[in-house]
Amino acid sequence: MSRLEQAIAAAHEAGRGAFIGYLPIGYPDLATSIDAAVALAEAGADILELGPPYSDPVLDGPIIQEATNAALEAGFRTSDVFTAVREIAKRTDVPVVIMTYWNMVVQYGVDRYAADLAAAGGAGLITPDVTPDSAADWIAASEEHGLDRVFLAAPTSSDERLDLIVESTRGFVYTVSTMGVTGERADLDLAARTLVERLRAHGATRACVGIGISSAEQIRDVVAYADGAIVGTALVRALRDGGVEQLSRVARELASGTTR
């Protein structure tokens, strides 16, 4: 199994769904973002999902956009991704997957990006704006460098698209809970459960649900039918409002919802 698959399997063996926590790289500064990621791992995250700031974050809600804009204004560079992953990997064994818009990878060079990420200790990429049928160069590079590739499935995905996503993904399928941007929602869309069921029918063995999850209760609901839950906005809000200490408190509370 890959590193992401191993992390999910370890959570299941412990009687839990996996807790995947997102944070932006470089917010509020590079050093603090590294400390925050390590604190998130120590508070119970099974997988760290780190996002490089991007100038046109079409999937991100306002809180994450606010954080990534601040990181860009502070001088974030793509090379900071590999610095952050390298330093985090020195301090925790929790795998790090990068959630990145595809243009950043293309501009850096697909094979070069994959090589540098693997050398830094990263586990793979989540690519929200590229589909498997458009990602032949990334699939080849990920195979070459032993990286996981996480593609997104949406409630609107056709059966043919789900077949392609399941066949091409390694690690887990990022299961979009509802159409729209990231953020906190009081009620998760029931489409998430239906989508996971569809993915299972198409052969997916690991499906983790993201977008809109912000409480331990919601995580508990999700891990009853999915392999893990992905949380971003609630963690970024905690880091913004109370620094690493508050982030740790919120992460521990969220992790308490993973028990099945």
Residues marked as catalytic: 49, 60
Are 254 and 231 in contact by the 8 Å Cβ rule? The answer is: yes
3-class SS of residue 47 = strand
H-only helix segments in 16-57: 30-42
Q: Which helix (H) or strand (E) holds 230?
A: strand 228-231
How many helices and strands in the chain, by DSSP H and E?
A: 11, 9
Alpha-carbon distance of 214 to 234, in angstroms, equals 5
Using alpha carbons, select from 136, 161, 163 the residue that is nearest to residue 149: 136
User: Are 101 and 128 contacting, i.e. CB atoms less than 8 angstroms apart?
Assistant: yes
- Residue position matching structure tokens 């690493």: 244
